[in-house]
Structure 1
């Protein structure tokens, strides 16, 4: 249930690669379909208003990163479309938003919590440095491995608590980062197979996405978790203060 939106994206990519939509470009059709899916999920109660806000944040973050990477030639969207901005179809932001959708859904469905969270300052500074490195490594050395080492230092005490029915389990947060990053890498191979986008070595024929991309997704997942976790904690504090009649300055 937590993967409904990601599955909808890959299903749309697969079907649109074999079924031609009349009177509209493929990229434009994908955008309209995914907007419809999001509307349905909100109206049906599968996603809350707060979760939609988080998804919108990720859509913007992802779209900005896509525009920069396409401009730098890291990958491309070769098909035409009316809803392309600086060479990037607007639907591409939903692929980042699908990660946020999954995290929000799984947090709520498995009643997740964390222990040993490093706090706002450390997590936000690390997340900001990771996001900035995606842009700056084209001009200065790539610090991803230094940042990866920092991740293990900052989050080495952080565990995820999640509940399946009446049983509570726990997992190191860094292990969860890797698992989700690996799954996204698998999804990326599916997406490029259906021509969602193309890396430079895939123009002639589809090839497996480089294993090095797992490290990129590992780091991107960290940004996602930091944003979702902080927003969840802010909401929990506001709810608690509403019940106690106190006002907390956030």
Structure 2
């Protein structure tokens, strides 16, 4: 597999070493048939896990913190749960840069995700959409600063997967239209508290704008394709599952979850779907959409 696209590096130095080792091992297996399919499936899963590194580690720490900060634990006297998550997130981000697991350009767009997400968190908690029930030091109003890293984790995944899978987008809409749609979606997250909720109109516009767009991506030996709208949904579904884990751990709570845990409403799946549009548009800042080789 080529390590560069149009003169730009696809892999960090560490990723290039892993890729070369994988080829030495797996290139000995047949390219086609069941063996070839299993190789593609295995590498797909491993690459997805690698792309989710930041979010996966953070989710693991959230689960761990549920038990470390259980009633009777001595840890709350040393550092609060939220501050532990914040300091851990900062450490993870620095380590990913120092160990060349993430590029500096990716870190910049992740910072944008952090700012955009934190601004939404401050407003939404003020409106009572959800709460962070515990106290901590590093916070703005009712929002602990680690929460912005949850959005940054989405940004990290989106930026890394674009590079790792060498994603190409066929029939991608004009960039000004996508930025206008993303802006409308972001505004609606705030304005629907005062004005009619426009999400169904935004869903319709999204479908019209992207229904012809397909994502072409390389797993290991071969390129595959998927409708981009389906990719939006699958990513949103996994984020919704992660959100259920977060509320189960009581890191944050929606109305109706205060007394006992219940699954997060499916309406939140729609919200994450719309957030995917914002995420993709933000990632195009550092990874402008590339057409497949066979598309003029």
TM over 0.5: yes
Cα deviation per residue 1:11-36 (whole Å; 9 max; x = unaligned)? 11111111143511111111001111
TM-score (norm 1): 0.91
8 A Cα contact 2:130 2:255, kept in partner: yes
The answer for unaligned runs of 5 or more in structure 1 is 237-250
State the distance in 2 between where 1:212 and 1:115 align: 30
Instruction: Report how far residue 156 of structure 1 moved.
Output: 1.6
RMSD, aligned CA = 1.2
Cα deviation per residue 1:129-174 (whole Å; 9 max; x = unaligned)? 0000000000111010110000011112211110011200111111
Runs of 4+ in 1 over 2 A off after TM superposition: none
SS in structure 2 at match of 1:95: helix
8 A Cα contact 1:120 1:230, kept in partner: no
Q: Does 1:3 align with 2:58?
A: no
The answer for unaligned runs of 5 or more in structure 2 is 1-49, 70-74, 291-296
SS in structure 1 at match of 2:287: helix
8 A Cα contact 1:69 1:75, kept in partner: yes
State the distance in 1 between where 2:139 and 2:220 align: 44
TM-score (norm 2): 0.77
Partner of residue 66, structure 2: 17
Cα deviation per residue 1:205-234 (whole Å; 9 max; x = unaligned)? 111100111100000011001110243119
State the distance in 1 between where 2:218 and 2:266 align: 32
8 A Cα contact 2:239 2:272, kept in partner: yes
State the distance in 2 between where 1:17 and 1:217 align: 24
Q: How many residues align?
A: 235
Aligned with residue 187 of structure 1, among 203, 228, 242: 242
Within-5 A mapping of 1:61-210: 61-210=116-265
Aligned with residue 211 of structure 1, among 257, 266, 271: 266
State the distance in 2 between where 1:56 and 1:196 align: 22
Q: Does 1:223 align with 2:278?
A: yes
User: Which of 1 and 2 has greater Rg?
Assistant: 2
